[in-house]
Structure formats: structure tokens, C-alpha cells
């Protein structure tokens, strides 16, 4: 093992393109970088937008170039690696060009990003105080039987529980209609819970109604059953 | 476990030493990772002028101080490379330890900064700007930490006079981490 | 590649007497590229069995809805989604890539360039271990509450971002983590391959003396490396959406789901070329050996492939034609997509030109290589329909797409693998495979393959859309004719799977009792055939070879023999 390590002493001799490195004054570059940093921080204080952008990003480009060429020694590196790095940079511009028309814009031919337009108009309040989260229906904020029903069950059973959900149209038999008194005539809550949990096949009915025991806890299933019961026509 | 470098590692058909060649390819892949993230941020930021209100909160002085810390650490890293080229392993190691110190400072300042912001309610889920802020700066910080750890191993080796060529390699990686921050700084702190 | 100066380091010819780890622990600690290649190969083949089993289960469900699938049971809708999602993910990320790139790349590149190992053996080992971790995490995702991720391998938000939608909260995060780790493993591996090929060639091996399979694997690695970055960023954002509730892809919270689509496909399209190029490289090398003929246009093929790789970055949004992207972008992407068929067609012609006038031996590897060309051609041609955005309005999300990409992926991942495996088996294991069994396996795989997917083309044209677990719910797709087609496809799959036992039997008996292979059973030119079968640790213990000519000097007029190994002095 020792002989392989020793051989690395020879490696420095093979650093062919490295002779010029010692003529770079690293200290001068460093101080230049610091100076540029000061300028870029000072930029916004003039309050002129284009000046701020110029100092912020223009200087960033200059600083990055200084670091890359002089500290990383890309100046003296073989051309192939400059091409490789340039390619990766060009690909980023390509990606930006291809994607921005969809993500940066909020409208185009025949489409509008309504949510984003609303967000822009609404603005983000509270620059002077606590940040406020945008009011949205929380997705993970605890279990809501109504939300879950609307998400999971209504596609077949309908928002109004009448069995007319869009996915149910093609089914045979049709999904159960919870607003039909005849439905409730022969069923009790225990049966509702069983069917939600184990599926229609568990009570000898259609397997098109699948069981949800893998997706919800018993408490959640009970809440779902209670929600189904709210569709029951009054007077029964 | 006895490990001997294969002869393959010592060859150089391109004239670029193998380790350095590899590091450039690592950087190429990192450019597209950070480029993808920052490009996405840019698209959102340009499309959502109202994010300026959220972004106004970031503290440009802390950001500038951290920029100063990273620039300085890049300086010490390249001085370490210079020492390694002379064959002075101990000096190179000293410079690398200084660089690691810079990394630690950066992380500590960032922790303080983030703690303050989070306690004021600016969490990652607060809005789109803050989501990108924490993700981008967080990914960068992870690269800082990983780089510092690897640099520690290389510094220890260098102190013992071994594998001095790796000082340059970790330096190149470190400069890249610095360059990413050079762009993050104006994006998140100045031209908000 | 500016390599006019090939610096020859000292002690090239020292005997490399170091031995690798011994005993059972060598499977954990070995850094030998051949061991790592075997690990990738066997892991990939194991995952192929799992992916194939998933296909078996969901195809049974599709042809015979509601059936209790033997060996599995009844398939619920959620399980169906998880099966198709993981079938796709596994086949691409855990079969095609590890076998074609990691396994054969690891095995062949050092051998074919005359090196004793990869340049970074320990990072090589690390990359396999990270890959193995990704395998375990993916497999674990099937056993957590909710089961495996069911949001399609493309993982579009909001389905993939919101646990309540995909019903596989834990599974989706584990899937994402597994994919991310797999990316890291291949980034690490790719750096090894690229650096090794660029730097560690044998003295005398100039850039155009490198076998094309090595070039193509390395070009694929570069393509992967440059395209996966934005998706890694996107995956981090998706993970945060899943786990932390951020809104990167949620319009209500200021995000945009189309961003994910773009980030995914910016990688996703180059990715298909990442797996294609190694398969083409394998095909070329096999064909050159068994046509006993120089490759027609080495430089042409090389530059065409590079051009295809570059072009592959400009076509990604053809996956999103009807997703609501800007229609002006659709125009541009149609043009670029149709353009990219040109270099690939040209590759086909070059390969045919190589065959023309050759002295063709129909060995099993040759059959696989020829089948690759024939079947991939069908896949490529059907891609042209999909690349035209107008036609794609109808075809998108139908089984036409599915049949198209199986006619491309199957040749790449399965036919290409078998070509490579049957060709290099003698080198890897020191014994010859039984050629008769090989041919039975070949016909028993390729013929049923066509009977699986041609019906699916027809079904797609007939309007059958994808990712539906039971077409009985759609009366216009539930007709008897359509079900007949589905049954043909499923039964053909069963036949094809049955013939794979022939392959496994052949492997095992050949490995144990096959005829000893010797160094160069195929009389091939490239460097791997100049050492023992299997090669010892260090590949050429008596000294690494020098190279004197290109890799395809077959049928040279001045010579008695019809081949001329690269390492023989003139």
C-alpha cells in the first residue's frame, strides 16, 4: 500500500497546466471580492430599481467569475472542462426558457392561472408584523368527514348523497342513493359502518363498493357513516 | 481492510489529474441541481411581484455577513491549495481548518437567523417565498456541512503529509459552494 | 477529447499482487469493479422478477376483471394503482439503469480500456450500497400502512403531493426517497465511468479506439448527470409538499403543478436516451463480432449519438402536449421531436450497413441484437405519431402510448440485456451457455412480446385510456372484441414469462456444467477477451495491455484470421 501513496508525490509534477497559478495574487482578488460585496449591499439604498438589479446580479456575476476563474483555476484548466461547465449552464437557460412560459406567466392563449392571478392581486400582508399564511382549506388539519366524503365518496354517490356522482354513471348496479327512504328502511348504522369498512362484497352486495379499512381508522369510518346518515330524508 | 489504489487512478489520458477531472463533473451535476431550483424560484418570483412583501423581512446585514464569511473561507481554501502545492501539508491543513471554521460560523449565523425568523412566524409553509427561501438556503447549507466534513478528513490527511492533491479538490468544491451563495445572496436578500 | 498526450505513469507493468477481500465478507467490502457489476446485475434481475410479477398481476386483472389472481388474490383499485406505478418505476430505475449502465458499464469499461479497475473503487462500492438502500426502501414501501405509492411513476401533483388524494401517505414518501437515493447512486457511478473512460485508457488507445459500447455508456452517464438536477430539485420540493405541507405545486398556495411536469420531463425525456444508448452500444458490439465486419462509420455513429443526446434536451414537453402548456411551445416541441427521429433512423441504417456484406453468425447474442433493431424500429416509428401534437390530442394517455414505450423500453431493457448477458456470459463466468436453450428462450420471449403489445396498439387506437383498473366501468371499452384483445395480451405475457424459466435453467446449468469458455470463445477483438475468463482481480496480473489499433478490425484483407485483437503488436 505504501508504494501507491508515495507515487502521489509525483502527481504534482504532472499538473501540466498549473505553472501560472502562482502568479495570481489571491489576496488582491479577495479584497476585490469584498469591495464588490460592499457595493452590492449599498445598491438598494439608492432606491433605483435598475441600479439595484445591476449591482445585485451584475456584481454577483462578476464575483462568481472571479472565484471560478482564479480560485478554481478554471482559467488554466483544459478546454474540455470549460465546455462541460458551459453546457450545464446553457441547459439551465434552456430549462428556464421552456418552462417559464407556463409557470411565470399567469395567462396565455386559451388558459389562465386563476389562483396565481388572485394571489397577485391579494398580495401578501403583514410586512410589518407577523407573516400570515394565505387562508386555504387545510389539507392535513385533522380529519374532516365532510371533506373526505366529498373527495372520496362523492365521485360515485354524489355530493348530495343521491347516487348520481359522475363515476357512478357507468356502474351496474348504480351507487346507493342515501336520500331514498327505501335505502334506510332495511339498514342500520352498524350495516353502514360495515360496508364502508369491508366493502359491498362483505354483505353479499356488489364488490364495486370497495372496503376502506386500509385507508381510515375505525373512528374515521364511524364519522363517515355519521356523515352518510345526514343525507337521510327527515321524518324517517 | 487493505485498499490499494488501482493503476487506473494514476493514468491521465486527458492530462487532467483524475481527481480534479472527477470534481469538475461533480460540479457540473451540482450546477444543474441548483440551477433547477433557482430557476424555478426565479420563475415564481418574477410572476409574483407580491412576494416582495414577504421577502422584505430577510435581513440583508446577516446575509452580507455570511457572504463575507464564505468569501473569506474561499480565500483560506485557495491559500491552503497554494501551501499544498508547495508540499507544506501542515500549513495546508491549517488553512483548511480555518475554512472549516468559516463554514461553522456560516452555519451558526444561519441557525440564529432562521430561529429568529421561525419564531416570528415565517415558517416554510408561510407562503411561496418562504418555502423557496428555506429550501434553497437549506440545500445550500447541507452542501456546506457535507463539504466541511469531507474537508475535515482531507485536512487531517494533509497534516500528516498524505494525499495533498486532495486539498485542491475540496477547495474547488468549496469555491462552488461559495459561488452558489454569491447568487443566493442577491436573490434572497438584496433584490427581493 | 484532447488526448494527444497520453501520460504513461510509472509502474504500469508491475504485477498488481494485491488481493481483494476474501470469504463471505467480500460481498460487502469488495471494491473490484467486476464484483460490483455482479451485484448490480443480480439486484437488477431480482427487481425485474418483481416488476414482471406486478405486470402479471395487473394484466390478469385487466383481462379477467375481479379475478382472484393466482399467487396474489383480488386486486383492489388502490392496489392496481400501486402495481402499475411500481412496475414502471422498478423497470426503469431498478432494472434498466442498473443492468445496462451500472452492471455492464462497471464490468466492461475497465476491461475494454485495459485498466485494472475503475478510478474510484471505493466510491464505486458506495454507489452500489446507496443503490441497495434505495431498493430496500422501495420494497419497504409495499409493506407500510397504505401500501406502495399509487400515483403513477410520473408522480404528478396534486395526486402525489396530498396523502388524502393518493391514499398512500407513507408509501409515497418512501417511493420518493428511494428514487432520490437511486439518483445519487447513479450520479456517483456516472462520475466514475466518465472519469475512467476519459483518463485511464491503455497506452495507445486513442479516443476512436474505444469500443462503442463504452462510449455509449459514458455518453448516457453524462446525459443522466446533466438532466437529473432539476428533477432532484423538484423532488425535494415535492417531498416538502408531502411531508411539510408547503405549496410548491399547489395553486391555492401560490404553486403550480405544471412546474413538476416540466421538471420531471426535462429529465424524463433524456432519461429514455440514457437507457437507450447503452443498449445500442451493446447491439453494435455484438453485431460487429458476429458479422465479422468493421462497424460502418464509427465516427458517424459516435457523433450521431452525441447529437441525439443534445437534441434529447429539446423535446421534453411532448409529454405534456395536452396538459395545458402554451400551444406555441407545443409547436416547437413537435418539430424537435420529429427531428430527433432522424439521427436514430440513421443509426439503424448504419447498423444495417454494418451487417451488409458481413459473414453473419446467428448465435444467440446475435439474434438478440437483431431483434433489438427490429422491435425498436416499431417502437420508434409509432413515436412519430405521438410526436405530432395534433395526433397526440387523441393518443395521449391511451394504450397507444403504452404500446409505443413498451416497444422501445422492452427492446432496451430486456432484449438489450439478454444480448449483453448471452454475449459476455462466457467472460463473466468462464463457461459457454447452451446455444439451443438460448435460442428457445429467444423465440419464446420475442414472439409472445409482439402478441402482448400489438393488441395494445389496437386497443389504444380504439380509445382505451390508461391507468384504469377495470374497463367494465366504461361500456364503450368493455365490448367483447376489446376483451378478446386484452386476453390475448395477458395470455401472451404468461407464455413469455414461462419461457423465462428456460433462461434461468440455462444460466444455472451452464454456470455449473457448461463448456469451459477459454479467453476468447467468440474470436473478438476487444481487450476484455485477452484475459482469463473470468478475469482475476486486477484484470491482467501479468501487466496491463497496450493498444495498437481500433476495436473492430474484423475481416482485414491482409490477414489470415478474420479478427485482429487490439493488443497484438502490428
Q: Which chains touch A (3 or more CB pairs under 8 A)?
A: B, C
Answer whether B32 sits within 8 Å of C227, measured CB to CB: yes
Instruction: Take residue A221 and report the three cell numbers written for it.
Output: 369510518
Per residue, what are the HEC states of C229-251?
A: HHHHHHHHHHHHHHHHCCCCCCH
Are residues A93 and A173 both part of a single domain? no
Q: Which of C20, C237, C268, C329 to mutate to test the interface with A (most CBs of A within 10 A)?
A: C329
Answer whether B165 sits within 8 Å of A8, measured CB to CB: yes
- pLDDT tens for B95-133 read 999 999 999 999 999 999 999 999 988 888 888 899 999
Summary mean pLDDT of chain C: 93
Q: Is the pLDDT of residue A111 over 80?
A: no
Contact C19, C8 (CB under 8 A): no
Are residues A161 and A84 both part of a single domain? no
Q: What pLDDT was estimated at residue C272? A: 96
The fold of the C34-530 domain, in CATH, is Cytochrome C Oxidase; Chain A (1.20.210)
Q: What pLDDT was estimated at residue A17? A: 43
Closest residue of B to C242, CA-based? B125
Which three-class secondary structure state does DSSP give residue C358? coil
A137 within some domain: no
User: Among the three residues A76, A103, A130, which one is the final residue of a domain in this structure?
Assistant: A103
Q: What pLDDT was estimated at residue A211? A: 79
Q: What pLDDT was estimated at residue A104? A: 87
Q: Is the pLDDT of residue A127 over 80?
A: no
Q: Domain containing B87: what range? A: 17-190
Q: Which of A4-8, C281-285, C355-359, C411-415 has the lowest mean pLDDT?
A: A4-8
Selection from A47-61, A138-152, A164-178, C486-500 with the highest mean pLDDT:
C486-500
Q: Which residue has the cell 348496479?
A: A173
Q: Which chains touch C (3 or more CB pairs under 8 A)?
A: A, B
A114 within some domain: no
A116 within some domain: no
Alpha-carbon distance C522 to C98, whole Å?
26
Determine which helix (DSSP H) or strand (DSSP E) holds C69, and give its type and residue range: strand C68-69
Q: Which chains touch B (3 or more CB pairs under 8 A)?
A: A, C
Q: What pLDDT was estimated at residue B68? A: 95
Are residues A21 and A77 both part of a single domain? yes
- pLDDT tens for A131-149 read 333 344 444 456 788 888 8
Alpha-carbon distance B54 to C165, whole Å?
30
Mean pLDDT of A155-164: 87
Q: What pLDDT was estimated at residue A125? A: 45
**A109 shares contact with chain B (CB less than 8 Å):** no
A76 within some domain: yes
Alpha-carbon distance C566 to C570, whole Å?
10
Q: Which of C199, C214, C240 to mutate to test the interface with B (most CBs of B within 10 A)?
A: C199
Q: What pLDDT was estimated at residue A12? A: 42
Q: What pLDDT was estimated at residue A23? A: 61
Q: What pLDDT was estimated at residue A167? A: 75
Q: Which residue has the higher pLDDT, A47 or C407?
A: C407
Mean pLDDT of C553-563: 89
State the virtual CA torsion across C11, C12, C18, C23 in degrees, nearest 10: 170
The pLDDT confidence band at residue C484, using thresholds 50, 70 and 90, is: very high
The 8-class DSSP code of residue C155 comes to T
Q: What pLDDT was estimated at residue C149? A: 96
Number of structural domains found in chain A: 2
Mean pLDDT of C15-20: 52
Exposed, middle or buried, B115 (CB in 10 Å: 0-12/13-18/19+)? exposed
Answer whether A214 sits within 8 Å of C145, measured CB to CB: yes
The interface residues of chain C toward chain A in range 201-240, judged by CB-CB distance below 8 A, are 226-227, 229-230
Alpha-carbon distance C354 to C356, whole Å?
6
Selection from A27-31, A115-119, C13-17, C425-429 with the highest mean pLDDT:
C425-429
- pLDDT tens for C451-472 read 999 999 999 999 999 999 999 8
Q: What pLDDT was estimated at residue A13? A: 39
Alpha-carbon distance C167 to C72, whole Å?
21
Alpha-carbon distance C266 to C261, whole Å?
8
Alpha-carbon distance C290 to C292, whole Å?
5
Are residues A95 and A170 both part of a single domain? no
Q: Is the pLDDT of residue A11 over 70?
A: no
Residues of A in contact with C265 (CB under 8 A): none
Q: What pLDDT was estimated at residue A101? A: 85
Summary mean pLDDT of chain B: 92
Contact C7, B11 (CB under 8 A): yes
Residues of B in contact with A53 (CB under 8 A): 191
- pLDDT tens for C359-393 read 999 999 999 999 999 999 999 999 999 999 999 99
A30 within some domain: yes
Instruction: Count how many Cα atoms sit within 13 Å of the Cα of residue C424 in the half-sphere of its side chain.
Output: 31
Answer whether A133 sits within 8 Å of B126, measured CB to CB: yes
Answer whether C165 sits within 8 Å of A98, measured CB to CB: no
Exposed, middle or buried, B27 (CB in 10 Å: 0-12/13-18/19+)? buried
Q: What global pTM score does this model have?
A: 0.86
Q: Nearest C-alpha of chain C: how many angstroms from A39?
A: 31
Residues of A in contact with C163 (CB under 8 A): 140
Mean pLDDT of C217-230: 96
The CATH number covering residue B71 comes to 1.20.120.80
Closest residue of C to A100, CA-based? C259
Are residues A84 and A157 both part of a single domain? no
The pLDDT confidence band at residue C282, using thresholds 50, 70 and 90, is: very high
B41 within some domain: yes
Q: Is the pLDDT of residue C255 over 50?
A: yes
Q: What pLDDT was estimated at residue C60? A: 97
Q: Which residue has the cell 443534445?
A: C310
Q: Is the pLDDT of residue C292 over 70?
A: yes
Q: Is the pLDDT of residue B169 over 90?
A: yes
Q: What pLDDT was estimated at residue C5? A: 36
Mean pLDDT of B19-29: 94
A21 within some domain: yes
Mean pLDDT of B77-86: 93
**C319 shares contact with chain A (CB less than 8 Å):** no
- pLDDT tens for C64-115 read 998 999 999 999 999 999 999 999 999 999 999 999 999 999 999 999 999 9
Determine which helix (DSSP H) or strand (DSSP E) holds C360, and give its type and residue range: none
B5 within some domain: no
Query: What Å distances lie between residue A117 and A121, C52, C252, CA to CA?
Result: 6, 46, 11
Q: Is the pLDDT of residue A122 over 80?
A: no
Mean pLDDT of C18-26: 73
State the virtual CA torsion across B159, B161, B162, B164 in degrees, nearest 10: 90
Q: Is the pLDDT of residue A195 over 80?
A: yes
**B56 shares contact with chain C (CB less than 8 Å):** no
**Angle, vertex CA A145, rays to CA A142 and CA A146, nearest 5:** 115
Q: Domain containing A62: what range? A: 15-103
Q: What pLDDT was estimated at residue C277? A: 97
Question: In chain B, what percentage of residues exceed pLDDT 70?
Answer: 98
Question: In chain C, what percentage of residues exceed pLDDT 70?
Answer: 96
Are residues A149 and A98 both part of a single domain? no
Q: What pLDDT was estimated at residue B50? A: 84
Q: What pLDDT was estimated at residue C299? A: 95
Number of structural domains found in chain B: 1
Are residues A88 and A152 both part of a single domain? no
Contact C385, C391 (CB under 8 A): yes
Amino acid at each position: 500500500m505504501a508504494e501507491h501513496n508515495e507515487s502521489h508525490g509525483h502527481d504534482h509534477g504532472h499538473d501540466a497546466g498549473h505553472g501560472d497559478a502562482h502568479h495570481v495574487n489571491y489576496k488582491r482578488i479577495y479584497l476585490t471580492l469584498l469591495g464588490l460585496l460592499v457595493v452590492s449591499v449599498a445598491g438598494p439604498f439608492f432606491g433605483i430599481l435598475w441600479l439595484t438589479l445591476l449591482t445585485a446580479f451584475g456584481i454577483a456575476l462578476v464575483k462568481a467569475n472571479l472565484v471560478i476563474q482564479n480560485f478554481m483555476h478554471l482559467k488554466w484548466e483544459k478546454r474540455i472542462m470549460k465546455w462541460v461547465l458551459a453546457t450545464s449552464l446553457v441547459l439551465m437557460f434552456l430549462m428556464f426558457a421552456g418552462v417559464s412560459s407556463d409557470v411565470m406567466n399567469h395567462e396565455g392563449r386559451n388558459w389562465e392561472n386563476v389562483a396565481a392571478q388572485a394571489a397577485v392581486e391579494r398580495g401578501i400582508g403583514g410586512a410589518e408584523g407577523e407573516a400570515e399564511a394565505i387562508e386555504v382549506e387545510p389539507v392535513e388539519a385533522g380529519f374532516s368527514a365532510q371533506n373526505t366524503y366529498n373527495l372520496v365518496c362523492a365521485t360515485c354517490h354524489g355530493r348530495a348523497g343521491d347516487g348520481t356522482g359522475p363515476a357512478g354513471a357507468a356502474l351496474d348496479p348504480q351507487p346507493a342513493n342515501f336520500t331514498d327512504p327505501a335505502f334506510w328502511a332495511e339498514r342500520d348504522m352498524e350495516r353502514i359502518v360495515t360496508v364502508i369498512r369491508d366493502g359491498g362484497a362483505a354483505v353479499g352486495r356488489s364488490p364495486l363498493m370497495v372496503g376502506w379499512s386500509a385507508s381510515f381508522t375505525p373512528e374515521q369510518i364511524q364519522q363517515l357513516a355519521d356523515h352518510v346518515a345526514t343525507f337521510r330524508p327527515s321524518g324517517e | 481492510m487493505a485498499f490499494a489504489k488501482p493503476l487506473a487512478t494514476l493514468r491521465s489520458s486527458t492530462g487532467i489529474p483524475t481527481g480534479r477531472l472527477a470534481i469538475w463533473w461533480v460540479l457540473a451535476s451540482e450546477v444543474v441541481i441548483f440551477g433547477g431550483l433557482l430557476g424555478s424560484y426565479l420563475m415564481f418570483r418574477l410572476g409574483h411581484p407580491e412576494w416582495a412583501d414577504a421577502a422584505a423581512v430577510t435581513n440583508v446585514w446577516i446575509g452580507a455577513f455570511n457572504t463575507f464569511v464564505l468569501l473569506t473561507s474561499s480565500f483560506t481554501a485557495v491559500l491552503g491549495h497554494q501551501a499544498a502545492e508547495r508540499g507544506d501539508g501542515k500549513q495546508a491543513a491549517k488553512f483548511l481548518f480555518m475554512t472549516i471554521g468559516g463554514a461553522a460560523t456560516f452555519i451558526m449565523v444561519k441557525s440564529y437567523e432562521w430561529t429568529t425568523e421561525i419564531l416570528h412566524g415565517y415558517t416554510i409553509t408561510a407562503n411561496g417565498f418562504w418555502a423557496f427561501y428555506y429550501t434553497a438556503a437549506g440545500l445550500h447549507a447541507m452542501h456546506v456541512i457535507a463539504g466541511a466534513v469531507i474537508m475535515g478528513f482531507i485536512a487531517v490527511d494533509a497534516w500528516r503529509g498524505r494525499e495533498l492533491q486532495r486539498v485542491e479538490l475540496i477547495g474547488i468544491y468549496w469555491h462552488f459552494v461559495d459561488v452558489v451563495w454569491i447568487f443566493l445572496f442577491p436573490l434572497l436578500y438584496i433584490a427581493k | 477529447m484532447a488526448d494527444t498526450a497520453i501520460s504513461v505513469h510509472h509502474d504500469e507493468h508491475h504485477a498488481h499482487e494485491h488481493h481483494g477481500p476474501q470469504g463471505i465478507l467480500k460481498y460487502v467490502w469488495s471494491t473490484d469493479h467486476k464484483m460490483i457489476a455482479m451485484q448490480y446485475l443480480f439486484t437488477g434481475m431480482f427487481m425485474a422478477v418483481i416488476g414482471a410479477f406486478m405486470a402479471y398481476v395487473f394484466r390478469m386483472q385487466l383481462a379477467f376483471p375481479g379475478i382472484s389472481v393466482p399467487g396474489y388474490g383480488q386486486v383492489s383499485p388502490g392496489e392496481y394503482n400501486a402495481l402499475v406505478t411500481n412496475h414502471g418505476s422498478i423497470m426503469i430505475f431498478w432494472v434498466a439503469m442498473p443492468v445496462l449502465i451500472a452492471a455492464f458499464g462497471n464490468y466492461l469499461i475497465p476491461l475494454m480500456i485495459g485498466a485494472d479497475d475503475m478510478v474510484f473503487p471505493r466510491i464505486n462500492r458506495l454507489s452500489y450500497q446507496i443503490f441497495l438502500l434505495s431498493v430496500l426502501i422501495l420494497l419497504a414501501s409495499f409493506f407500510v400502512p397504505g401500501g406502495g405509492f399509487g400515483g403513477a411513476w410520473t408522480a404528478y401533483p396534486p395526486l402525489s403531493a396530498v396523502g388524502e388524494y393518493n391514499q398512500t401517505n407513507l408509501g409515497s414518501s418512501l417511493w420518493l426517497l428511494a428514487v432520490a437515493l437511486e439518483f445519487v447512486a447513479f450520479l456517483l457511478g456516472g462520475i466514475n465511468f466518465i472519469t475512467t473512460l476519459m483518463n485511464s485508457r491503455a497506452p495507445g488507445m486513442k479516443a476512436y479506439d474505444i469500443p462503442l459500447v463504452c462510449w455509449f455508456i459514458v455518453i448516457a452517464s453524462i446525459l443522466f448527470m446533466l438532466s437529473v438536477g432539476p428533477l432532484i430539485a423538484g423532488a425535494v420540493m415535492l417531498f416538502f409538499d408531502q411531508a411539510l405541507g408547503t405549496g410548491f405545486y399547489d395553486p391555492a398556495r401560490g404553486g403550480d403543478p405544471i412546474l413538476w411536469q416540466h421538471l420531471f420531463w426535462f429529465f424524463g425525456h433524456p432519461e429514455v436516451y440514457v437507457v437507450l444508448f447503452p443498449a445500442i452500444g451493446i447491439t453494435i458490439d455484438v453485431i460487429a463480432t458476429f458479422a465479422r465486419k468493421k462497424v460502418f462509420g464509427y465516427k458517424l455513429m459516435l457523433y450521431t449519438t452525441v447529437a441525439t443526446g443534445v437534441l434529447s434536451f429539446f423535446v421534453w414537453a411532448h409529454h405534456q402536449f395536452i396538459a395545458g402548456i402554451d400551444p406555441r411551445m407545443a409547436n416547437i416541441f413537435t418539430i424537435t421531436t420529429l427531428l430527433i427521429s432522424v439521427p436514430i433512423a440513421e443509426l439503424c441504417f448504419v447498423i444495417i450497413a454494418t451487417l451488409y456484406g458481413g459473414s453473419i453468425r446467428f448465435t444467440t447474442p446475435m439474434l438478440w441484437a437483431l431483434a433489438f433493431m427490429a422491435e425498436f424500429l416499431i417502437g420508434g416509428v409509432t413515436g412519430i405519431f405521438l410526436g405530432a401534437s395534433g395526433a397526440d390530442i387523441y393518443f395521449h394517455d391511451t394504450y397507444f402510448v403504452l404500446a409505443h414505450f413498451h416497444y422501445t423500453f422492452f427492446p432496451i431493457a430486456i432484449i438489450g440485456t439478454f444480448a449483453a448477458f448471452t454475449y459476455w456470459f462466457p467472460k463473466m463466468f468462464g463457461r459457454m451457455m447452451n446455444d439451443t436453450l438460448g435460442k428457445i428462450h429467444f423465440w419464446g420471449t420475442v414472439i409472445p412480446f409482439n402478441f402482448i403489445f400489438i393488441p395494445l396498439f389496437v386497443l389504444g387506437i380504439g380509445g382505451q385510456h390508461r391507468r384504469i383498473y377495470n374497463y367494465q366501468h366504461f361500456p364503450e371499452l368493455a365490448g367483447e372484441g376489446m376483451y378478446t384483445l386484452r386476453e390475448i395480451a395477458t395470455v401472451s405475457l404468461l407464455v413469455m414469462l414461462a419461457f423465462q424459466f428456460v433462461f434461468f435453467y440455462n444460466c444455472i446449468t451452464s454456470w455449473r456444467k457448461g463448456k469451459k469458455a477459454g479467453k476468447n470463445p467468440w474470436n473478438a477483438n476487444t481487450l476484455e477477451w485477452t484475459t482469463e475468463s473470468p478475469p482475476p482481480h486486477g484484470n491482467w496480473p501479468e501487466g496491463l495491455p497496450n493498444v495498437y489499433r481500433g476495436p473492430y478490425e474484423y475481416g482485414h484483407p491482409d490477414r489470415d484470421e478474420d479478427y485482429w485483437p487490439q493488443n497484438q503488436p502490428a
